[in-house]
Amino acid sequence: MRKCKIGIIGFGTVGKGVYRILKSKNDIHPILKDIEIVGIAVKNINKKRDIELENNLLINDPYKLIDDPNVDVIVEVIGGTDIAKDIILKSLRARKSVVTANKAVIARYGSEIYSEAAKYGVFVLTEAAVCGGIPIIEPLKRSLKSNQINKMVGIINGTTNFILTKMTNEKADYKETLKLAQKLGFAEFDPTADVEGHDTADKISILTELAFGGAVNRDSITTEGIEKINIKDIEYANKLGFEIKLLAFSERNHVNKEESLSLNIWVAPCLIPKSHPLSKVDGVNNAILIEASPLGEIMLYGPGAGSGPTAASVVSDILNLYASLSKNISSIDPLLAFNYWRDCHIIDFNQISKKNYLRIICSDTPGVIGKIGDLFGKNDVSIESIVQLDASKNKAEIVVITHEVSNGKFEKSKKEINRLSEVELIASQLSCI
C-alpha cells in the first residue's frame, strides 16, 4: 500500500496530540507508520512551541496544503467557524478527504459540507468533534446501524460537568468554580459557549443527524446553560435524591403525514435520580446513553476532551480513511460517508414534554401548598412531589417536581402560580428525567 499523506491545519492542543500519536512508539496498529505528514499549517509560525518537530514541517498558509497534489487528507484542527468552513469546503473541492474535530462548523454547516463531500466523492470524518476521545460518531454511523435509535441522553460538555460536580461535592460558588476551571485549563478564556449550553447543543445536533438520518436546524434547539444554577437548587436536589447535570436530550417522536420524523431535542440543566447511571458521571468526563431497538440501552463513557483523547479520535479517523482509500475502489463506502436519508423536524418548544423542578419562594402561610397544587391540577399538570424545604422570617421555600408534561401546560401553570398573592418569586426552574 502506498503511504497516506496528510496535511495538518492547526497545531494547538489537538494538533500537537495528533503529531505525538503519529510519532509514538506505543504498540499501535502497524498501518500507523504509513501515515506521512506533508506539512503543518499554523497562524503564527514564530510562536515558541513546547514540542520538538521533525524537519521544517511548519508553514503559515493552510491553502498550500490544500493545493498540494501530494496531500490525500486534510486534518482541520484550528477551531472557529468561518476560516475552518472555507478550509474544509476547499479541501473537499480539491478531492481531499477531511478529518475535523470542529463541532461548531459541523453543527452549523454539516448539510453543505456532507453534500460537497458526496459531490466530490470524498469523506469528511468527525469522530473528535463530539465527546473527544469517546468513540460515538463511527459507532452511530456503522456498528449501531442495524438498530433503530430511539433516544440519546448525554453529558457531553466537560467544562460544565466539572463546575457542577465541584458545586455539588464542595458546595462551591458558581463564579469561583468557573475561575478555577479556567485556571486548570478546563474552561476557555471566554466560557460562553460552554456555560450557556451552545457547545452541548452543537454536539447533540451532530449526533441527532447521524442517529436519525435527517438534517437538523441547529438554531431551533431549545438551549439553557448552567449560569443561573443556585447552590440551593443543588442542595435541595440532593436532599430529594437527585444530582444536577447539564444534559443533552434527543428523542424520536413520530413520523408525520409528510414522512418527516419529529424530534424532541433540548439542552438543559437537569435533575437526574441518583440511581441513574448518568448521575455518576463526574468531573470533566462525558457519557452518552443510547436507547435503541433491538439493542436496548448502552452507555459510552470516558474523557470528553484533552489533547491525547481527542487526538486519538482524529488519528482513528485518519486510519479509517487510509484503509478505505487504499482499497482503490471507485464507489464511496456508504457507511464511512454520511448522507441524509430522511426528513426531520424539531418539535416546537411548547410541545416538548418533560418533568420539571420548580423552587418557589412564598409567604409562610397555611394553605399555600394546596393553592399551588390546585393550579397545577387545573392545568392538567400532575405532581410527583411538593415539599416545603425551608422556612425562615415568615418565608417558605416550596419545591415542586412534576410528572412529564408539555412545556405549554407547565408554563401556563407557572404564570398563574406567579400571580398568587402568597408567591414572592419563582426562584428557579430546572428539567428532570
Ligand X SMILES: NC(=O)c1ccc[n+]([C@@H]2O[C@H](COP(=O)([O-])OP(=O)(O)OC[C@H]3O[C@@H](n4cnc5c(N)ncnc54)[C@H](OP(=O)(O)O)[C@@H]3O)[C@@H](O)[C@H]2O)c1
Alpha-carbon distance of 87 to 64, in angstroms, equals 11
Shortest Å distance, C-beta 412 to ligand X: 39
Alpha-carbon distance of 132 to 98, in angstroms, equals 17
> Which position's Cβ is nearest ligand X?
12
Applying CB under 6 A, the span of 72-80, 269-277, 326-334, 401-409 interacting with ligand X comes to 72-80
CA neighbor of 131 nearest in space, from 151, 96, 161, 87:
161
In the complex with ligand X, the residue whose CB is nearer, 42 or 240, is 42
* Binding residues with ligand X: total (CB under 6 A): 25
Shortest Å distance, C-beta 109 to ligand X: 13
Binding residue (CB under 6 A) for ligand X from 7, 39, 79, 197:
79
Shortest Å distance, C-beta 84 to ligand X: 7
Quick check: 15 binds ligand X (CB under 6 A)? yes
C-alpha cell at 16: 500537537
Distances, alpha carbon 110 to alpha carbons 194, 253, 320, in Å: 20, 23, 20
Quick check: 175 binds ligand X (CB under 6 A)? no
Establish how many alpha carbons lie within 13 A of residue 338's alpha carbon, considering only the half-sphere containing its beta carbon.
28
Quick check: 154 binds ligand X (CB under 6 A)? no
C-alpha cell at 95: 478531492
Binding residue (CB under 6 A) for ligand X from 122, 305, 346, 430:
305
Quick check: 77 binds ligand X (CB under 6 A)? yes
DSSP string, 358-396: EEEEEE--TTHHHHHHHHHHHTT--EEEEEEEEEETTEE
Residue with cell 435520580: 273
Binding residue (CB under 6 A) for ligand X from 4, 66, 75, 78:
78
Applying CB under 6 A, the span of 37-45, 161-169, 246-254, 405-413 interacting with ligand X comes to 37-45
- Residue 353's SS3 state is strand
Applying CB under 6 A, the span of 25-33, 99-107, 284-292, 328-336 interacting with ligand X comes to 99-107
Contacts of 190 (CB under 8 A, 6+ apart): none
Alpha-carbon distance of 351 to 408, in angstroms, equals 6
Alpha-carbon distance of 423 to 131, in angstroms, equals 42
Q: Count of CB atoms within 10 A of residue 364's CB?
A: 16
Alpha-carbon distance of 418 to 424, in angstroms, equals 8
C-alpha cell at 78: 484550528
Binding residue (CB under 6 A) for ligand X from 21, 37, 41, 122:
41
Q: Is 90 a catalytic residue?
A: no
Alpha-carbon distance of 114 to 125, in angstroms, equals 10
Alpha-carbon distance of 97 to 332, in angstroms, equals 11
Shortest Å distance, C-beta 163 to ligand X: 16
Distances, alpha carbon 205 to alpha carbons 48, 202, 214, 299, in Å: 37, 5, 10, 19
Applying CB under 6 A, the span of 71-79, 146-154, 224-232, 350-358 interacting with ligand X comes to 71-79
| Tally of residues, the chain | 433
Binding residue (CB under 6 A) for ligand X from 13, 150, 220, 326:
13
Quick check: 310 binds ligand X (CB under 6 A)? yes
Binding residue (CB under 6 A) for ligand X from 44, 55, 56, 330:
44
Catalytic choice (203, 245, 354, 414): 203
Binding residue (CB under 6 A) for ligand X from 4, 6, 14, 144:
14
In the complex with ligand X, the residue whose CB is nearer, 39 or 79, is 79
Binding residue (CB under 6 A) for ligand X from 39, 191, 269, 306:
306
Binding residue (CB under 6 A) for ligand X from 4, 21, 65, 102:
102
Q: Check if the beta carbon of residue 338 is closer than 8 Å to that of residue 119.
A: no
Quick check: 110 binds ligand X (CB under 6 A)? no
380: β partners: none
Quick check: 388 binds ligand X (CB under 6 A)? no
Quick check: 21 binds ligand X (CB under 6 A)? no
In the complex with ligand X, the residue whose CB is nearer, 49 or 274, is 49
Shortest Å distance, C-beta 317 to ligand X: 12
Quick check: 128 binds ligand X (CB under 6 A)? yes
- Residue 280's SS3 state is helix
As annotated, the active-site residues are: 203
The site for ligand X (CB under 6 A) is made up of: 9-15, 41-44, 47, 62, 77-79, 83, 101-103, 128, 132, 305-306, 310
